[in-house]
Structure 1
Amino acid sequence: MIKNDSITKKIGLPYLFGAALFACTSAFSMSVQAADLGGDCCADLEQRIAELEATTATKGNRKVSLTISGWVTEQVMGWSDGLKTDAYVGTSLNDLGNRLHFDGSAKINSEWSAGYSLRIDVVGANGFVQDAHNPDGGEGPPDTLNSYWWVKSERLGRVSVGRQSQATDDVWVDVSGAGSIFAANLVDFDGQNFQLVPNGSRTRAKARWGDLATCYTTGVGIFADCGGDRTNNIRYDSPTINGFMLSTSYGEAYYYDFAIRHNYDGPTWTTAFGAGFARNTAHRINAITPDYYAQASFAALHKPTGLFGSIYYGHENPEGDYKPTDQLYVKGGVRASLNKLGATVFYGEYGNDNDMFSGLLGGAVFSGVTDVCDGFAGTGGKIDTACGAAGPNNVKATGSTFDRFGFGIVQEIDAASAAFWLKYKNYGADVDFVADGVHGNEDMKHLHIFALGGAVFF
């Protein structure tokens, strides 16, 4: 899910799961929809906004309505990288950061309608850009996330044109509630820009955690949801038939994708499924090379017990002399009714990506690393030592592993349309390399993240 043209991921607000999470349940109603993380991380949030429309400020001309909605989210994020411990105040990147939505629609006749969507990212310090030396990372003027018009037929579906998420953004689905999605997401919203520290070293590398979680499609270290940025495109979403919706989009020089989603909300189970395939040859954001990207996700909630879980898998196959990558993300927990405020959500999460080290190959968005030797110069670690002995031209990164796990608790407050969380995340990684034909491995100190935060919807 992701940001603007300067960095970007992963996630405008969903039309899909109804269009990345097009199947999160509403944070407060546990019903399912799909995401478009259709630009956002969670269709669940789109559904929540629909529920609040009766109380939002509404105005417009005589023919076209205007509905204003959105959310404000901030957190106190503590961190420890093995060299220092500190705490920052900030939000997440645009998709889960502070948002302002302007939506309008008008009936043409009994079947047809038309409308528009404008999404504004209210930029502030955020955990996606902050690092050990920069507590104010990400601050800047408001930025446009989505800006498009649409025409819809109840029988034929919807066509939208403008800046928006692609059909496969994002295919991840979650039915645990919007508050849980803000706290735990498959995208690396917290800490990706912190510097790597090789084990045995007391020096931070130039390379960042995001350099080991970089998508070829976007050239940004987001860990997963590699199609999760917005482009200027034309998109089609079919009507929902027996819970199924088909979507496709095309644009931004040469990008096309296809997605299928299914939502089910029965008396005992809520389930959601999403799968997508994308082809990119456009120079979107900081794209490294043309590629193919496939992804799939499934989530389920057992209503009587509150037990829930979701699993996501993504595979990116680049052109040229680059290694394919794999991403896995799993989340599970329980929604419990412990008090009258709202649901209390307990969750755990795990993520793994393999060979997403393309941020070490040059042109990394945040670190500016030019090659693996530049990324670890001066640290005194294994890669730095090998570069000194063999020379930069004879040392190459050949593989990487990035593992993360975390857990937390979320308290939803129905009367205030709010959710508050306390969470912990742990990042670990290693890099394989070869120097003059000799193979080696560099292990990194773990990054620990603690956060107390909240979101208020309006």
Structure 2
Amino acid sequence: MTRTVLIAITAVVISGAAPVAAEDENLVFTNPNGWTTTFYGQLNMTYQGVDDGTETYNEFVNNTNSTSRIGLWIDSPAGGNSLRFNFETALGILATAETNQIANPSYLDWQRTDIRKLEIIYSGNFGTIWTGQGSMAADGIAEFDKSGTSIAGYSALADAAGAHLFRVNNRLSTVPVGAVFRNFDAGRRMRIRYDTPEFSGFKVSAAYGQDVLATAIDANYYDIAARYGYEANDISFSAGLGYSWFQPENGLDEEHLFGSASLLHKPTGLNLSVAAGENTLASSEYVYAKFGWIGQIFDIGPSAISADIYRGTDFLRDGTDSDAWGIQAVQHIESLHLEAYLSYRNYAYSGVATTYQDVDAVLFGARWTF
């Protein structure tokens, strides 16, 4: 099933289309020499309720689905080319992917691993070169999602409650949710990356990086990715396919093949997102699907609702199954630059000889952006 979905994603990625428009910028300051500085950020706090089948845990924390952050862009004239600098950091607030039944971490603890981006980007007719801390080539490839509800839940299922442990016979196991519900998406590293120019919506990227912010990790990261975007009056479509490999100094190599695609029908607001991936050096794999609707229910802004499902096999141990489903709702309040959201997710993990109790997670919060 995983290879079937990936083949389908590959087929649409290698076709052609029109480029996707960039988002509008806020808080832009320009000096007489043509330099511009853009400040941005968001605060995304949520109630998190987790039931592990025996106990219930309640927190008010940062939402890992789209973590609270601040950042700035500096754009410099570079002849006919573009030279940009981007700095972005999370705020160090305890987040949904970090809480669990036994740990008691500090609520506010900024560390250098909270630096998300510290990079220089040079682009022109030749393509784009990225240097510094930032997205690897395949970052986001497993997460194309036009549902409008990704803040409440998307293919990275571990973001909602990934550190919580499953229970066996009411006792905590050593298996965290995040270890058995993966989407294999690439992350951010200190890297050098190259993107080709975009041809009819099609672009290829490659990167090499190391995790220099987390000193305990000594490894080399490589990845390649292809992206495709299409925009028309009635249709918005994005897809991507990525391949990454991870070579630790001590430990086993990992190689991941993964991709996703998302389609929005603008007149009706109906949308569909799919993702799939596998560890090619092991047997673990997954498929994911989400169906949603975006429309105008209230005058204050657009509304979005969705439901999704995840099916994984052979995570941590051969013969295991990882099954999850969830529902999400988001309401925009445009005058306040606010998105209120509510989500529920059920995680079920089963082995050949072990029965794990389900974990249920609820998020109820809001994201304010500037």
| Structure 1 and Structure 2 fold alike (TM over 0.5) | yes
The answer to whether structure 1 residue 456 and structure 2 residue 365 are counterparts is no
- 2:174: which partner in 1? 206
| 1:454 shift after superposition | 0.9
2:153 to 184, 191, 194: 184
* Structure 1 residue identity aligned to 2:152: A
Higher relative contact order (CA 8 A, sep 6+): 2
Q: Does structure 2 retain, via aligned residues, the 8 Å contact 1:130–1:137?
A: no
Change (3 A) 1:79 1:227: closer
1:130 to 72, 94, 99: 99
Q: TM-score, normalised by structure 2?
A: 0.86
| 1:210 shift after superposition | 2.6
Q: Spell out, residue by residue over 1:51-87, the C-alpha distance to the aligned partner (whole angstroms, 9 max, x if none).
A: 142xx15366945332110211010111211111232
Change (3 A) 1:418 1:239: farther
1:258 to 224, 227, 231: 224
Q: TM-score, normalised by structure 1?
A: 0.70
The answer to whether structure 1 residue 294 and structure 2 residue 261 are counterparts is no
1:349 to 308, 315, 325: 308
Q: Does structure 2 retain, via aligned residues, the 8 Å contact 1:426–1:447?
A: yes
Q: Does structure 1 retain, via aligned residues, the 8 Å contact 2:224–2:244?
A: yes
Change (3 A) 1:211 1:297: closer
Q: Which runs of 5+ in 1 are unaligned?
A: 1-21, 23-30, 34-43, 214-222, 358-396, 433-440
Q: Does structure 1 retain, via aligned residues, the 8 Å contact 2:283–2:318?
A: no
Equivalences for 1:95-244 in 2 at 5 Å? 96-109=66-79, 111-134=80-103, 139-141=108-110, 143-153=114-124, 155-171=125-141, 172-177=143-148, 180-187=149-156, 188-198=158-168, 201-213=169-181, 223-224=182-183, 226-244=184-202
Q: Which moved more, 1:253-262 or 1:330-339?
A: 253-262
- 2:344: which partner in 1? 424
Q: Spell out, residue by residue over 1:324-371, the C-alpha distance to the aligned partner (whole angstroms, 9 max, x if none).
A: 2102221111112112111111100111221121xxxxxxxxxxxxxx
Change (3 A) 1:137 1:403: farther
Change (3 A) 1:61 1:210: farther
Equivalences for 1:350-389 in 2 at 5 Å? 350-357=309-316
The answer to whether structure 1 residue 303 and structure 2 residue 303 are counterparts is no
The alignment yields a C-alpha RMSD, in angstroms, of 2.4
| 1:134 shift after superposition | 4.4
Change (3 A) 1:336 1:227: closer
Sequence identity of aligned pairs in percent? 19
Q: Does structure 2 retain, via aligned residues, the 8 Å contact 1:32–1:175?
A: no
Q: Spell out, residue by residue over 1:17-53, the C-alpha distance to the aligned partner (whole angstroms, 9 max, x if none).
A: xxxxx9xxxxxxxx995xxxxxxxxxx9xx5xx4142
| 1:136 shift after superposition | 5.1
1:334 to 282, 293, 305: 293
Q: Following superposition, which runs of at least 4 residues in structure 1 exceed 4 angstroms of deviation?
A: 59-63, 134-138
Q: Does structure 2 retain, via aligned residues, the 8 Å contact 1:102–1:119?
A: yes
Q: Spell out, residue by residue over 1:244-290, the C-alpha distance to the aligned partner (whole angstroms, 9 max, x if none).
A: 1111112336432221111111111111111111233245xxx8521
Q: Which runs of 5+ in 2 are unaligned?
A: 1-12, 211-218
| 1:167 shift after superposition | 0.6
Q: Distance in 1 between matches of 2:49 and 2:329?
A: 16
- Determine helix, strand or coil for the equivalent of 2:97: coil
